[in-house]
Amino acid sequence: MQTLPLRLTPGQDLRTALEQILVERNLSAAYVLQGIGSLSAANLRYAGANQTTNLQGDLEMLTLAGSLSQNGVHLHISLSDAQGNVIGGHVSGGCIIRTTAEILIAVLPEYRFTRESDLDTGFSELVIRPIASE
């Protein structure tokens, strides 16, 4: 396992930036171990919901975690608002960095992650393959 520390800057889209880093660095499997920072906007999909919810304002990123592959990312986040209320959910596009995002990624060069349709869940789910088996 290798680690990759990142800092995202104001105005970047959190999800898009992570997707671009995978492609730019040709990473086939990684996990976000942790992320902190702030957002000015967030699009979250809550458990069991089909639609995203848009949040606006000063939002603190308390945690960020998930799996990363070049054909899909799966990220969860917890945020607090200016009153200290905490909310979390699935990260969709449109989570915009306000001041910073400090993220630590674990790179797994011996694996290839893909997201493939799963008949049991109805969602694209993580498939883990050792590189040596390809």
- State the Cα torsion 134-116-39-16 to the nearest 10°: 60
Q: What is the 3-state secondary structure (H, E, C) of 53-98?
A: EEEEEEEEEEEEEEEEECCEEEEEEEEECCCCCEEEEEECCCCEEE
In the chain the domains, ranked by start, together with CATH numbers, are 2-133 (3.30.1330.80)
Q: Are 16 and 96 in contact (CB under 8 A)?
A: no
Exposed / middle / buried, residue 108 (Cβ in 10 Å: 0-12, 13-18, 19+): buried
41, two tokens: 């906007």
75, two tokens: 């990220």
Q: Are 128 and 46 in contact (CB under 8 A)?
A: no
Predicted structure pTM score: 0.92
Confidence of residue 133 (pLDDT cuts 50, 70, 90): low
Confidence of residue 123 (pLDDT cuts 50, 70, 90): confident
Cα–Cα nearest to 12, from 4, 21, 22, 3: 21
Q: Provide φ and ψ at 18, rounded to 5°.
A: -65, -40
pLDDT tens profile 74-104: 999 999 999 999 999 999 999 999 999 999 9
Confidence of residue 134 (pLDDT cuts 50, 70, 90): low
- Mean pLDDT score of the chain: 95
Whether the per-residue pLDDT at 58 is higher than 70: the answer is: yes
Average pLDDT over residues 16-40: 96
- Give residue 132's pLDDT: 77
